[in-house]
Amino acid sequence: MPKEIRITPIKNGTVIDHLNAGSSYKILEVLNLRENSITVAINAESRKMGKKDIIFIQERELNEKELAKIALIGKGATVNIIANGEIKNKTILGYPEKVEEIIKCINPKCVTNNETLKTKFYITAEPLEAKCFYCETRMNEEEIAASIKK
């Protein structure tokens, strides 16, 4: 039986750990990491979660926008910055209070879908909801995940 995967496969870069099992597909879809060397563990054994996904990204740190995208898909994920094979920094992702230019509004009549305006949403938790700053349309977890910009 495979043992729990430890954070060691990369020397420098970022490890996104404790992702809900299966959520790594969506995360890789919305992050632009085509240039990076990536290792993904899907349905890895986890004592805490039963099963989890882990994404190992070589030689790359993530910016605020990328972290917000990950948080909206996988709240509670852990982001570890690895330098010289050691964890330099560890953050547990919570929901951002507001996000700009990250989600597309589902209301086709929204001004952001008809003019070149940056989208802006307020985020509330439990249950996860995003409210459009412009048209006040509310989006649930599923709608948010489907509307995250690539």
- Smallest distance, Zn ion to C-beta of residue 141, A: 17
Q: What CA–CA distance (Å, rounded) separates 33 from 57?
A: 8
Position among 12, 58, 107, 147 found at the interface with Zn ion (CB under 5 A): 107
Which residues on adjacent β-strands are paired with residue 131?
122, 138
- Smallest distance, Zn ion to C-beta of residue 143, A: 12
Q: In terms of Cα–Cα distance, which of 47, 55, 53, 48 is closest to 21? A: 53
- Smallest distance, Zn ion to C-beta of residue 21, A: 32
Stretch that binds Zn ion, among 28-36, 59-67, 100-108, 120-128 (CB under 5 A): 100-108
Stretch that binds Zn ion, among 30-38, 53-61, 82-90, 101-109 (CB under 5 A): 101-109
Using alpha carbons only, what angle is made at residue 34 by residues 75 and 100, rounded to the nearest 5 degrees? 45
- Smallest distance, Zn ion to C-beta of residue 111, A: 7
3-state secondary structure of 18: strand
Joined together, the tokens standing for residue 63 give 């910016």
- Smallest distance, Zn ion to C-beta of residue 17, A: 33
Q: For residue 110, state whether it binds Zn ion (rule: CB under 5 A).
A: yes
Report strand pairing: 86-92 vs 98-100.
Answer: unpaired
Site for Zn ion in 124-143 (CB under 5 A): 132, 134-135, 137
Position among 15, 72, 93, 105 found at the interface with Zn ion (CB under 5 A): 105
Structure-token match 């020397």, residue found:
11
Q: Are 121 and 103 in contact (CB under 8 A)?
A: yes
Positions in the binding site for Zn ion (CB under 5 A): 105, 107, 110, 132, 134-135, 137
